[in-house]
Structure 1
Amino acid sequence: MTRIPMAPLVLGLAGLIPFVWGAATYINAPLANWGAGALGSRFVGPYVQLFYGSVILSFMSGVLWGFATRASGSQAATGYALSVIPALWAFFMTGGGPTTAAMNLIFGFLGLLVLDFAFSQWGLTPRWWMSLRMLLTTVVVACLAVTVI
């Protein structure tokens, strides 16, 4: 594993805040009440996690698309095709209530990690990419699991 540069690490960790906040407000009623009053009910518990998780899966589709531009021929075509999967997954699989949506987001983020690995193996990502993605995915899945359990 390669050392993650400071900017992507700090920004990646900052991107975890809505997931951690959602898990914290899901298990702590006084915090959830405060958050709902101060920020609105959409920004606490599973609601913030599910909406933000859908946004991040869509964002990651764009990141993978960018990596695919570094390929050529059939590998590029495969990369482009695979890159749209996380956004489509988020679009089609996050309905059905908070538990089902959180479970489907967990599967989406784990599937994204598989795609990250493939793009990394193809040499399309920075060397540190998998170190960052493993860290972030672990936290995201753990936070979403709070909603599922």
Structure 2
Amino acid sequence: MNDIPRSALILGLAGLIPFIWGAATIILPDLALWGQMNLSGRFIGPYVQLFYGAVILSFMSGVLWGFATKATGQIATASYILSVIPALWAFFMTGGGPTTAAVNMIVGFLGLLLLDWHFWRLGLAPPWWMHLRGLLTAIVIITYLPLVF
């Protein structure tokens, strides 16, 4: 983890806060009640996790698009096509109730990790990219588990 730029690590970890908060409000009913009273239902439980997860998958599509700009020819074309998959996945797969949507989000983040690896293997992502993405993805998936089980 020492090779990840400090700012990228701190911002990446800060980006986990809504996922962790959402999981905490599922596991701890008193926290959910506090959140409902002080923040609204939109910012607790599955609502915050699923909405924010869709935002992050869409954001990551933009990151991958940026990586695609470093490629040329057919690799660039394929990279641009691959880069839009996380956003489309989030758009089409977050319906059907919280459990189904959470499973689909887990699959989406695992698929994103494969795309991260692909772009990294092509040399389009920074050398430290997979260390950061592996850590963040593992934590995101763990936070969805209370919705699934």
Report the TM-score range of the alignment, normalised by the length of the smaller protein: over 0.9
What's the CA shift for 1:2?
6.4
Hey, what does 1:134 align to over in structure 2? 134
Q: Output one character per residue of 1:115-142: Cα deviation in whole Å (capped at 9) or x when no partner.
A: 0000000000011100000000000000
Instruction: Report the aligned-residue RMSD.
Output: 0.9
Tell me, which stretches of 5 or more residues in structure 2 are unaligned?
Answer: none
Q: Does 1:37 align with 2:27?
A: no
Q: 4+ residue stretches of structure 1 with deviation over 6 A?
A: none
Q: How many residues in Structure 1 have an aligned counterpart in Structure 2?
A: 149
What's the CA shift for 1:55?
0.3
Residue type of the alignment partner of 2:99: T
Residue type of the alignment partner of 1:141: I
Q: Does 1:76 align with 2:76?
A: yes
Tell me the TM-score normalised to structure 1 length. Answer: 0.98
Hey, what does 1:24 align to over in structure 2? 24
Tell me, which stretches of 5 or more residues in structure 1 are unaligned?
Answer: none
Task: Give the Cα–Cα distance (whole angstroms) in 2 for the partners of residues 11 and 40 of structure 1.
Answer: 25
Q: Output one character per residue of 1:60-104: Cα deviation in whole Å (capped at 9) or x when no partner.
A: 000000000000000000100000000000000000000000000
Question: Percent of pairs identical after alignment?
Answer: 66
